[in-house]
Amino acid sequence: MVRPETVVRWHRRGFRLYWAWKSRRRWGRPAIGRDLRDLIRQMSRANPLWGAPRIHGELLKLGLTVSQATVSKYMVRPRRPPSQAWRTFLKNHGPDLIALDFFTVPTATFRVLFVLVMLTHSRRRLVHLNVAEHPTAEWTARQLLEACALEEGHRYLIRDRDQVYGERFSRQAKTLDIRETVIAPRSPWQNAYAERVIGSIRRECLDHVVVIGERHLKRILSEYVDYYNRTRTHLSLAKDAPEPRSVQPPRQGRVVEVPRVGGLHQEYLRKAA
């Protein structure tokens, strides 16, 4: 009538049903409401340094009676050690930090141009950008002087181990009272802000044009730097620009579209009718 494996399958299915019935919940603490569970998760996410006793104490002060074991059960477990202290450290020292890096751009005639970018950590503002076909230590040191001579407050400079910087560059940094912080070998993520802005320049500008030469590249990048600093909003700046943009109230007029970076991007402003 049936095969042996069918009998074994029926037996295993019946055994699972038996244990599901035997393990049914018949007593214990009543389940807490969804709003309270969401509040516990929200507190644990917003305060990764807090444990169950601290969250339990806050709930008691809010008039919410729940056991500490229940709080521990519904807390969000971070996958890595809490990094709030490190983020706070970077935020507090952001005005003192400046980062720089090089990237390459091929031209229409297959020449390779080198672009140097410098930006501040506090507002992600591009403070200097220049182009050279054969950058040297003297040229790079001169760019540092041009970028930081009029900028105040920069005390630490983050860079990689490229030999283009050299002894001349280090002497110039000491003259400006700037301490160099060299990242580890093959660790570009340690200069993440510079890497991020280079990626933005490529994705939002250079990937859409064919560069004819050095003068053409300088003109394109100068337009993009103006757009980046004055217009482009950033998530890390609460959707503001590096140079803060004022909010235009609706009563100021209709919305007009202003092309930027040769029409690759648009700026939206209110103009009086």
pLDDT in tens, 11-22: 889 888 888 888
Two tokens at 222? 């100068």
Q: Are 259 and 237 in contact (CB under 8 A)?
A: no
Q: What is the pLDDT, as a whole number, of residue 27?
A: 67
DSSP alpha helix (H) spans, the chain: 4-22, 34-46, 52-61, 68-74, 84-93, 137-148, 166-175, 192-204, 214-230
Q: Which domains does the chain have, with CATH numbers?
A: 4-82 (no CATH), 90-237 (3.30.420.10)
pLDDT at 201 over 90: yes
Two tokens at 202? 């490529």
Q: Are 119 and 197 in contact (CB under 8 A)?
A: yes
Q: Which residue has the higher pLDDT, 33 or 141?
A: 141
C-alpha 99/C-alpha 195 separation (Å) is 10
92's CB contacts (< 8 A; 6+ apart) are none
pLDDT tens-place string over residues 55-95: 998 998 888 888 898 999 899 876 665 555 556 666 777 88
Average pLDDT, the chain: 88
C-alpha 84/C-alpha 87 separation (Å) is 5
Query: Is residue 74 helix, strand or coil?
Result: helix
Q: What is the pLDDT, as a whole number, of residue 11?
A: 84
Mean pLDDT of 232-254: 88
DSSP string, 201-256: HHHHTGGG----SHHHHHHHHHHHHHHHHHT--BGGGTSB-SSPPPPPPGGG-EEE
